[in-house]
Amino acid sequence: MKNNLILTGFMGTGKTSLGKLLAEKLGRCFVDLDQKIEQDTGLTVPQIFEMYGEKYFRELEKKAVEEVSQRRNLVIATGGGTVKNEENIRMLKSSGMIICLTTEPEEIFRRTERRGERPVLDGGEDRLATIKKLLTERQKFYAQADYTVDTTDWSPLQIMNDICKHFSL
Q: Is 81 in the site for ligand S3P (CB under 6 A)?
A: yes
For 26-163, where are the E strands, in sequence order? 29-32, 74-77, 96-102, 147-150
**Nearest approach, Cβ of residue 75 and ligand S3P (Å):** 14
Q: Which DSSP category does 12 fall into?
A: T
Cβ atoms within 10 Å of 145's Cβ, excluding its own: 22
Which residue, 81 or 96, has its beta carbon nearer to ligand S3P? 81
Q: Phi/psi at 74 (nearest 5 deg)?
A: -105, 155
Q: Is 70 helix (H, G, I), strand (E, B) or coil?
A: coil
Which region, judged by CB under 6 A, interacts with ligand S3P, from 22-30, 63-71, 89-97, 117-125? Answer: 117-125
- By CB under 6 A, is residue 11 in contact with ligand S3P? yes
| Region near ligand S3P per CB under 6 A, out of 65-73, 78-86, 123-131, 160-168 | 78-86
Residue 2 vs 39, nearer CB to ligand S3P: 39
